[in-house]
């Protein structure tokens, strides 16, 4: 998103919150806009406000995780992704970002892959693509090839 557009969207979301301070969705939308601008501290505050107002949505937890990650609070980010997945186990973006966080923090591709379960019967090509990407980044090319071959 272009910086001017991100600024405009954040300002619009601030006006919506000001007009409806009890609207959890307005706070969620503000958190998303602030994350897009890399205003992580304020995005975290807005996401927490959305949760306080009763919006216990997986997507709100993902916004919290992104804010924590951007602030370098990696344990909190990992926990927030976990909360997102407790609410929506099928939320791909939470799985993808959590796997990347685990991989970048620890270099433990096996643990990162545990977040991305794949079955050839579940029809999840995005999961497979992410698994293959992690395996390739870890230099486990033969294993990546086996995963792709098994899916074909």
Whole-number pLDDT of residue 150: 81
| pLDDT on residue 149 | 87
* 110-119 own/partner pairs: CB under 8 Å, 24+ apart: 118/147, 118/151
Mean pLDDT for the stretch of residues 1-25: 92
pLDDT digits (tens, 9 = 90+) for 41-68: 999 999 999 999 999 999 999 999 999 9
The DSSP line for 31-95 is HHHHHHTT-HHHHHHHHHHHHHTT---HHHHHHHHHHHHHTT-HHHHHHHHHHHHHH-TT-HHHH
pLDDT of residue 2: 64
Whole-number Å distance between alpha carbons of 134 and 129: 9
**pLDDT for res 1:** 52
Angle of helix 58-70 relative to helix 40-52, nearest 10 degrees?
150
What's the CA gap between 39 and 31, in Å, rounded?
9
75-134: per-residue pLDDT in tens? 999 999 999 999 999 899 999 999 999 999 999 999 999 998 876 555 578 888 989 999
């Amino acid at each position: 998103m272009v910086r001017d557009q991100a600024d405009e969207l954040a300002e619009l979301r601030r006006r919506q919150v000001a007009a409806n301070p009890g609207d959890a969705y307005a706070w969620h939308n503000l958190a998303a806009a602030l994350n897009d601008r890399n205003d992580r501290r304020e995005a975290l505050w807005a996401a927490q406000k959305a949760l306080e107002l009763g919006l216990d949505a997986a997507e709100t937890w993902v916004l919290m995780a992104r804010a924590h990650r951007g602030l370098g609070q990696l344990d909190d980010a990992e926990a927030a992704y976990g909360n997102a997945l407790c609410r929506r186990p099928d939320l791909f973006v939470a799985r993808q970002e959590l796997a990347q966080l685990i991989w970048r923090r620890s270099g433990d591709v096996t643990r990162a892959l545990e977040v991305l379960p794949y079955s050839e019967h579940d029809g999840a090509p995005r999961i497979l693509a992410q698994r293959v990407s992690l395996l390739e980044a870890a230099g486990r090319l033969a294993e990546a090839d086996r995963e792709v071959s098994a899916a074909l």
